[in-house]
Each structure stands twice: as C-alpha cells, then as structure tokens.
C-alpha cells in the first residue's frame, strides 16, 4: 500500500493528529522522534506509534517504525511465503512438515553411520575409527542436512526452488568423498589426520554456500550462518549429553536386573544414536525456508554463549597480555622446539575468533551505548593481541620449515591457516580504525566472513 497517499474512506481513522499527519511525511516523523528523544518522551512517541498500528492501517512507513521500535515482530517485515502463520492449524501443519522429514532423515543418517563405523566407535579420528567413517561422516551428515533443507524449504528461499543447487552440492560431496577414500586409502599419520579434519570442514562450507545461495547481502548471511553453526554445535552437544545419560541409565538398570548386554551391541547402538543427532540438532535451531539473516539468534544456547563470551572477553585479554608480555619474551625460542605448543597457539587463535563472533552485538539488540563502546574496544584489543600471537606462531612454523625439520603436511596446512587468520585479524583492526560508530558491527562481520571462501579452497 502506498505510504504517501491520503487516507481513503475505508481506512481506519487514526485519532492522533501528530502520527496521522506524519505518516505521509517520513522527514516529519523522524523529526518528531528526535524531538521526543531530546525531551525524554520516547515512551510517549512509542505509545503513539503503537496506537497507530492497532488501528489496522498498514503502510510500509508505519511497519518500518513498528519494527524499529520493537513494536512488531521481525516476521512482520518478511515476505508472505517466509512468514509463519498465526493460525493454530497452520502452525501444527508447519510443525509436522518440519519434523517428519527431520526424524526420517535422522534415522537414515543413523543407519548410514552404523554401516560406516561398523563395530568400531563413531569417532572422527583415524586412530580410533575405520577409514570409511572418518572420511564419510562429514559428507553424509551434510548431505542429510541438504536433503532436509530442500524438503522443508519455502518459496522465499532462493535455493529451495532450485533443485540443481542441492543436487550439485550433493554430487560434489560424493565425488570428493570417493576421491578422498581412493587417495587416502591405507595412509595413516599426519596425512590421515589432515584429511579427517579438512573433509568435514569443506562439506560444512558447501552447506553454508547452498544456504546463502542467491542472497544479496552475503556478508550478513555468512555471519548469521557462523552464529547458527555455533548454535547447532551447542544443541548437538546437548543431544549427545542427554543420549549419554539415557544410555548410562539404561545400562545401569539392566545391570541391576542381571542382564548383560554385549559390548558390540552397545557400540553399534551408540553409533546409530550419534548418527541421528546432526539432523535433529539442525531442525531444533534452524527454521527451514528462512533466510539466514531472519533466523532467531537471540534465544536458546546461543544466548548463553553470547553472555559467556562477553564476560570472558576481559579475562581473555588479560591472559593474552600476561603471556605476551610476561612469558613470551623470556621463553622466545621454546615454541620453535615444541610442536604441541604451536598447536595450542593456533587453537587459541581460532577460539578467540569464535569468541569474538559470539560476543558481537546483534542487529536489533538493545545495548547501552557505553557498553557497546567498551565491547568494541575489547574486541579490537583481543584482535590486536591475537594478531601478535598469530604473527609469532607463523614465524615459528616458517623457521621450523627452514631449520632441520623441513616441509611436512602438517606444517604446510598450519602455514596456510596462520596466513588466513592473520589476514582476518589484520582486516578487523584496519576496518575498526576506519569505521564510524554506527557501522563498526557490520564492518566487523565483513572482516570475519570475507575470507570464508578462501578457507574452503585451502581445505581442499
């Protein structure tokens, strides 16, 4: 409906002269809002907008102000095909539409993991599991996720209506898995460990590409995909803990009753149950058919992680300062001789990046301006300290290559990862130095997500 037209005869009357007059003039409405803020009457202005919304008159300008003032849910601004119906029958149908494929695919994936793992443990480590499992668990899990998203997608999802996107991704993952099985067959040690690490990563990045397919603002979409990935990981962990407790309780009851279950059966059951978790965890945290930027990231396990990350940020900065200033100068050559210490450095850098992602303010999150300022300073400080640690770790690895140790697959992979994280951290610092106060969050998101394609290419 055109926001600039005069009220028609059939329109509900808005009995508020200020809002009724300003609805056709965005500049006047903005001026009224700023005046209300200056006079500490924001609640009065919100009340006037709320009354206008309650009359039932819908205009794009009024809807935008309702969203801006948190008077309307975010779904009000979504396309019709992406909006959840308020009809209880429709909600029930959507629930069935959402969970039936999830349960069915989780059973299929559980059976696939059971076949891949056999009587061995379903663990993604070459030392513990069979090659078929540590090579196949990531691609099969992502293929099940792709199938789930395709079955439950809506017309608002550009990828959902394009079967070729999903089919191409599934074929690529299958070919990559078969090639990896042929190339790494019979190999062990560092080569097998690198394959076990990078193949699932490439599979998950492929899933992220499919989900963000067709998005105009890919920076924001990729950032929300990272957030939902953290949400998914926490939810999967909760499922695993719950399944482990239920399994331990069941075994305890049978033991009290004098029934001994063969260890092989216990292991196979555990493999099957673990296989059912990925799709169930995805269905629990990701709304099918919604674009990534419209996903709920303000509730659930992710909210706890966000609070924890912000509380932990000063502690992390303090630990990095103590280490870089108080320990490293007096033990400068120790990491050159210690491979394990270098691995700890790189793990710390990745953990800091995830912590910063979780601590960033959300688009509609209301934070005190002073808290937001200190959060920006804290994230910038953590980025700078992590950059120094990254520089030292990269230097140490390069020196180990040039010394008597030479090139190895591990050092080749670590140098690449150090280079990528170094560019990400440097980009964060440069963008934060140049970005104005009202754009620093978006710049931060872009600095982190810009190199996601490079991560996928290096993983290959």
Segment 159-193, tens digit of pLDDT:
555 667 777 888 888 887 777 766 666 665 666 66
Tokens of 290: 């919604």
C-alpha span between 275 and 137 (Å, rounded):
9
- In this prediction, residue 241 has a pLDDT band, given cuts at 50, 70 and 90, of very high
> What average pLDDT does the segment 296-318 reach?
87
What is the rounded CA–CA span in Å between residue 118 and residue 30? 65
Q: What's the confidence (pLDDT) of residue 185?
A: 63
Sort 246 into a burial class: Cβ within 10 Å, 0-12 / 13-18 / 19+: exposed
For 281, the token pair is: 């965890």
Q: What is the dihedral of CA 186, 192, 197, 199, to 10 degrees?
A: -40
Residue 240: predicted pLDDT: 93
Residue 357, Cβ density class (10 Å: 0-12 exposed, 13-18 middle, ≥19 buried): buried
Say yes or no to pLDDT of 251 above 50.
Answer: yes
24: exposed, middle or buried (C-beta count within 10 Å: 0-12, 13-18, 19+)?
A: middle
Q: What are phi and psi of 146, to 5 degrees?
A: -60, -45
What is the spatial distance between Cα 12 and Cα 55, in angstroms, rounded to a whole number?
A: 6
Structure tokens at 179: 């090639």
Q: Please determine, for residue 425, whether its predicted confidence score (pLDDT) is greater than 70.
A: yes
| Residue 5 confidence (pLDDT) above 60 | no
pLDDT exceeds cutoff 70 at 70: no
In angstroms, rounded to a whole number, what is the distance separating the alpha carbons of residues 316 and 56?
A: 50
Dist. CA 81–CA 153, nearest whole Å: 10
Q: What is the pLDDT of residue 138?
A: 84
**What is d(CA 277, CA 238) in angstroms, rounded to the nearest whole number?**
10
Mean pLDDT calculated for residue range 235-245: 93
| Predicted TM-score (pTM) of this structure | 0.72
What count of other Cβ atoms lies within 10 Å of the Cβ of residue 346? 18
Contact 389, 418 (CB under 8 A): no
> Residue 437's pLDDT is what?
76
Residue 193 confidence (pLDDT): 67
What is the percent of the chain with per-residue pLDDT over 90, rounded to a whole number? 12
Cβ neighbours around 307 below 10 Å, total: 12
Backbone Cα Rg of the chain: 26
Q: Tell me the C-alpha distance between 451 and 449, whole Å.
A: 6
Is the pLDDT assigned to residue 246 strictly greater than 50?
A: yes
């Amino acid at each position: 409906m055109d926001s600039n037209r005069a009220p028609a005869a059939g329109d509900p009357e808005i009995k508020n002269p200020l809002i009724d007059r300003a609805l056709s003039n965005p500049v006047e409405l903005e001026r009224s809002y700023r005046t209300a803020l200056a006079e500490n009457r924001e609640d009065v202005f919100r009340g006037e907008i709320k009354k206008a919304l309650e009359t039932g008159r819908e205009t794009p300008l009024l809807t935008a102000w309702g969203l801006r003032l948190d008077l309307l849910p975010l779904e009000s601004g979504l396309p019709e095909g992406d909006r959840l119906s308020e009809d209880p029958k429709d909600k029930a149908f959507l629930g069935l539409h959402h969970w039936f494929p999830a349960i069915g695919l989780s059973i299929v994936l559980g059976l696939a993991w059971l076949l891949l793992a056999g009587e061995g443990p379903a663990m993604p480590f070459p030392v513990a599991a069979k090659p078929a499992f540590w090579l196949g668990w990531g691609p099969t899990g992502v293929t099940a996720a792709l199938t789930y998203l395709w079955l439950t997608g809506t017309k608002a999802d550009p990828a959902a209506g394009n079967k070729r996107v999903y089919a191409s991704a599934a074929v690529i993952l299958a070919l990559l898995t078969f090639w990896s099985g042929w190339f790494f067959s019979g190999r062990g040690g560092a080569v097998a460990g690198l394959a076990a690490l990078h193949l699932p990563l490439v599979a998950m990045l492929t899933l992220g590409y499919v989900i963000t397919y067709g998005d105009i603002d890919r920076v924001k979409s990729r950032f929300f995909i990272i957030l939902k990935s953290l949400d998914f990981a926490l939810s999967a962990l909760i499922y695993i803990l719950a399944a482990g407790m239920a399994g331990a309780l069941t075994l305890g009851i049978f033991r009290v009753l004098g029934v001994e279950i063969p260890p092989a059966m216990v292991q196979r059951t555990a493999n099957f149950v673990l296989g059912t978790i990925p799709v169930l965890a995805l269905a629990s945290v990701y709304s099918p058919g919604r674009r990534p930027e419209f996903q709920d990231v303000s509730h659930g396990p992710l909210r706890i992680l966000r609070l924890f990350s912000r509380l932990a940020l000063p502690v992390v900065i303090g630990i990095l300062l103590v280490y870089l200033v108080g320990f490293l100068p007096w033990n400068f050559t120790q990491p050159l001789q210690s491979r394990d210490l270098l691995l700890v450095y790189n793990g710390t850098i990745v953990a800091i990046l995830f912590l910063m992602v979780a601590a960033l303010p959300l688009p509609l999150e209301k934070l005190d301006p002073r808290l937001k300022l200190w959060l920006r300073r804290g994230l910038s400080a953590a980025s700078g300290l992590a950059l120094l640690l990254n520089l030292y770790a990269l230097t140490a690895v390069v020196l180990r290559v040039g010394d008597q140790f030479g090139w190895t697959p591990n050092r080749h992979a670590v140098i690449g990862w150090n280079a990528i994280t170094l560019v990400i951290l440097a980009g964060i610092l440069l963008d934060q130095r140049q970005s104005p106060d009202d754009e620093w969050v978006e710049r931060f998101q872009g600095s982190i997500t810009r190199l996601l394609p490079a991560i996928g290419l290096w993983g290959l």
